[in-house]
Structure 1
Amino acid sequence: MEHITETSTLKAPADRFTGDVYLNMIETPTEPARLASALVRFTPGARTNWHSHANGQTLYITDGVGLVGTRDGNVVRVSAGQIVKCPAGEEHWHGATDTTLMAHIAMVVGDGSGDGTTWLEPVTAEQYADALNSTN
């Protein structure tokens, strides 16, 4: 057994996120394990870029209110205790609403050469505003 009492909080990279986002890694796998997980905290208005995962992603919302959107325009409003599963290859984004922080545990199963995430372009201000308006 390994008891980890603390992990460092890191600022998420600006080339993958808009706004202030903070990460605490829970699990960074070493072979043969492939599950990666992190606690991700989004300040109001903060969000990921568009991205996809080779083997999908599961988000467990721990605090606040947020949004998860897909390329086809589907957007869901999420809050603490809810789970969102994004299938393999689906381009999506997630983040906080404009007035409330949101935190989630993000879980991905890597593809053997990393966590299997393909990072894409930022979610535009217009796309974000449309997502907010569609879930009010």
Structure 2
Amino acid sequence: MEIIRTDTRASRPADPAWFTGPVWQEPVIGEGAETDIRALRVTFAPGARTAWHTHPRGQTLHVLSGVGRIATRGGAVAVIREGDTVWIPPGEEHWHGAAPDRMMCHLAIQESVDGRAADWLEHVSDADYGG
């Protein structure tokens, strides 16, 4: 057993190549662990969001606080709130982020395949974000 103390893992800004707006990530599972499971606590400032992306084995999001938005390619924008859980199937193009006027924090859980947990695409346009 290993207990990983919170003060040993710093928050870090998310890569702007894959996110729009201020986003912070905190690793939960995966960095240095002997597992294919990856989990991150991700906090989005109001209006911040991911780029379009997919996951080779799908992704589960669990909203820890705030209000967010999520959409699949060609689908309607949905509102997600604290306590909501979302399953995104493997290969489904999607994005997620905070509502325009609220922060949102979620736990993102996905499995990696050959060390790859996500395939990143283009940034989400303001029109796509607005729904």
Q: TM-score range by the shorter chain?
A: over 0.9
Bigger drift between 81-90 and 70-79 goes to 70-79
- Output the CA distance in 2 between the equivalents of 1:22 and 1:31: 21
Bigger drift between 68-77 and 119-128 goes to 68-77
Gaps of 5+ in 2: none
- Output the CA distance in 2 between the equivalents of 1:116 and 1:42: 20
Aligned partner of 1:4: which letter? Answer: I
Aligned partner of 2:85: which letter? Answer: I
- Output the CA distance in 1 between the equivalents of 2:72 and 2:49: 13
1:52 to 32, 51, 54: 54
RMSD of equivalent CA atoms:
1.3
Q: Which secondary structure does the structure 2 equivalent of 1:85 belong to?
A: strand
Residue in 2 that maps onto 1:125: 126
- Output the CA distance in 2 between the equivalents of 1:125 and 1:69: 13
Bigger drift between 43-52 and 69-78 goes to 69-78
Change in CA separation of 1:31 and 1:100 when aligned onto 2, cut-off 3 Å: closer
Bigger drift between 43-52 and 21-30 goes to 21-30
2:64 to 62, 65, 89: 62
1:89 to 88, 91, 94: 91
Q: Which secondary structure does the structure 2 equivalent of 1:126 belong to?
A: helix
Aligned partner of 1:119: which letter? Answer: W
- Output the CA distance in 1 between the equivalents of 2:31 and 2:64: 22
Write the deviation string for residues 79-109 of structure 1: whole angstroms up to 9, x where unpaired.
Answer: 1111000000000000000000000000001
Correspondence list, 1:11-50, <5 A: 11-28=13-30, 33-50=35-52
Change in CA separation of 1:30 and 1:11 when aligned onto 2, cut-off 3 Å: closer
Residue in 2 that maps onto 1:133: none
Residue in 2 that maps onto 1:115: 116
- 1:75 is displaced (CA, Å) by 2.3
The answer to whether 1:4 aligns with 2:4 is yes
Give the paired residue count: 129
- 1:129 is displaced (CA, Å) by 1.4
- 1:31 is displaced (CA, Å) by 7.3
Q: Which secondary structure does the structure 1 equivalent of 2:123 belong to?
A: coil
Aligned-residue sequence identity (percent) comes to 38
- Output the CA distance in 2 between the equivalents of 1:29 and 1:21: 19
| Aligned residues of 2:36 and 2:111 also touching (Cα < 8 A) | yes
- Output the CA distance in 2 between the equivalents of 1:8 and 1:32: 20
Residue in 2 that maps onto 1:134: none
